[in-house]
């Protein structure tokens, strides 16, 4: 696709490639979501130093790179985020997962008209989320710690295999920041109840039930925190229990409030010269590339450079298949 930019939705659409188009559209969606969620952001933001899932107080700062799964309560190899996941991240050893029993909303007749989960997604390191506890105390902080553990070890897994795979496959040009952004977005979909990949249905169901319980606890804690706050009625209306107690809006806003920390976790092992594929640090025409560990720096240090997590998953997957 020819380079160029065109107006749309109050923000330019970057037309250099399909990847650029999707990411820039994702920014438009993100900015709207962020504005809508701003009122309750402080009440939903988790603090790693307040998490109670560890044997001892090991997190004294907000840096998720200090997280260690072996220090968690009842921690053992059976709860490692990458347990039961293959280290072969970009291989076709297992084939693409396209059938209706593997991808939500795919048609059952001849498995037509559906998305295919890319190889990278098949072994995403989120096993600890399937095994996490759901205690009510400190729910928003504990959930952030669990998600950051998954993100940190997912990033490590991708980084370790990416260089090896790229060396053996000269036509593979995707850089590590793009791969990290794709997994970051998939983690966001899992947390928000949007993930299309079913995988093992039993494990998928257990994970979703745990997330629903976590967000019920976060909702109850939020109502308690706002008991004497005049904004309580607004929070009740915004986050009211939907069909099945899924708390989809609450999950959306929690992700918006905490995605910055999750991005830092997934990029812990990225190289110091790792660059995001387009300029997103800052705003407008002066935005620059994240060029150190896939992170923005200086005045924009708390800005997440990717917006893939606000692009529908099936579109991201189509683009990923096309590029890889």
Report d(CA 215, CA 134) in Å as an integer: 9
* Strand, helix or coil for residue 289: strand
| Assigned token pair, 96 | 């693409």
Q: Is residue 138 part of a domain?
A: yes
∠ CA 19-11-238, nearest 5°, is 95
Q: How many domains does the structure of the chain reveal?
A: 1
Q: Is residue 199 part of a domain?
A: yes
Q: pTM of the full predicted structure?
A: 0.90
**Residue 222 main-chain phi, psi, to 5 deg:** -65, -45
* Domain containing residue 128: 41-270
Q: Is residue 259 part of a domain?
A: yes
pLDDT tens across 304-315, in order? 999 999 999 999
Q: Is residue 317 part of a domain?
A: no
∠ CA 157-160-162, nearest 5°, is 100
| CATH number for the domain that contains residue 86 | 1.20.1310.20
| Assigned token pair, 189 | 């979909």
Report d(CA 195, CA 111) in Å as an integer: 18
Q: Is residue 283 part of a domain?
A: no
pLDDT at 293 over 60: yes
pLDDT at 227 (0 to 100): 84
pLDDT at 31 over 90: yes
| Assigned token pair, 59 | 């997190």
* Strand, helix or coil for residue 190: helix
More confident residue, 92 or 46: 46
pLDDT at 245 over 70: yes
CB 182 within 8 A of CB 165: no
CB 12 within 8 A of CB 25: no
| Assigned token pair, 150 | 């998954």
Q: Is residue 54 part of a domain?
A: yes
Within 13 A of 7's CA, how many CA atoms are on the CB side? 1
* Strand, helix or coil for residue 144: helix
Report d(CA 161, CA 168) in Å as an integer: 11
pLDDT tens across 123-147, in order? 999 999 988 888 888 999 999 999 9
**For a pLDDT cut of 90, what percent of the chain falls above it?**
56
Rounded to an integer, the average pLDDT of 74-78 is 55
| Assigned token pair, 97 | 């997962």
Q: Is residue 6 part of a domain?
A: no
CA 151 remoteness from chain centre: 8
Q: Is residue 136 part of a domain?
A: yes
For residue 125, give the nearest of 177, 179, 53, 183 by alpha carbon: 183
For residue 153, give the nearest of 126, 123, 176 by alpha carbon: 126
For residue 84, give the nearest of 29, 157, 3, 10 by alpha carbon: 157
């Amino acid at each position: 696709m020819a380079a160029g930019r065109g107006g749309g939705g109050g923000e330019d659409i970057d037309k250099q490639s399909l990847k650029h188009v999707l990411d820039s559209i994702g920014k438009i969606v993100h900015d709207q979501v962020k504005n809508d969620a701003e009122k309750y952001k402080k009440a939903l933001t988790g603090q790693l130093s307040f998490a109670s899932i560890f044997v001892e107080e090991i997190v004294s700062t907000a840096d998720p790179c200090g997280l260690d799964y072996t220090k968690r309560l009842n921690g053992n190899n059976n709860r490692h985020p990458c347990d039961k996941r293959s280290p072969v991240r970009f291989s076709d050893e297992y084939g693409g997962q396209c059938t209706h029993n593997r991808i939500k909303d795919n048609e059952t007749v001849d498995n037509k008209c559906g998305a295919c989960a890319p190889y990278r997604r098949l072994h995403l390191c989120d096993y600890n989320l399937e095994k996490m506890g759901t205690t009510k105390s400190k729910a928003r902080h504990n959930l952030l710690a669990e998600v950051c553990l998954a993100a940190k070890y997912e990033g490590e897994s991708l980084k370790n295999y990416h260089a090896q795979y790229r060396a053996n496959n000269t036509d593979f040009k995707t850089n590590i920041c793009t791969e990290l952004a794709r997994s970051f977005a998939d983690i966001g979909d899992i947390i928000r109840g949007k993930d299309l990949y079913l995988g093992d249905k039993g494990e998928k169901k257990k994970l979703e039930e745990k997330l629903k319980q976590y967000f019920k606890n976060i909702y109850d804690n939020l109502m308690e925190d706002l008991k004497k706050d005049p904004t309580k009625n607004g929070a009740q209306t915004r986050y009211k229990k939907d069909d099945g107690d899924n708390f989809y809006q609450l999950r959306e806003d929690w992700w918006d409030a905490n995605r910055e920390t999750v991005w830092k976790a997934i990029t812990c092992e990225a190289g110091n010269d790792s660059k995001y594929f387009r300029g997103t640090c800052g705003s407008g025409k002066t935005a620059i590339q994240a060029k150190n560990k896939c992170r923005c720096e200086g005045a924009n240090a708390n800005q997440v450079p990717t917006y893939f997590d606000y692009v529908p998953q099936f579109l991201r997957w189509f683009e990923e298949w096309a590029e890889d």
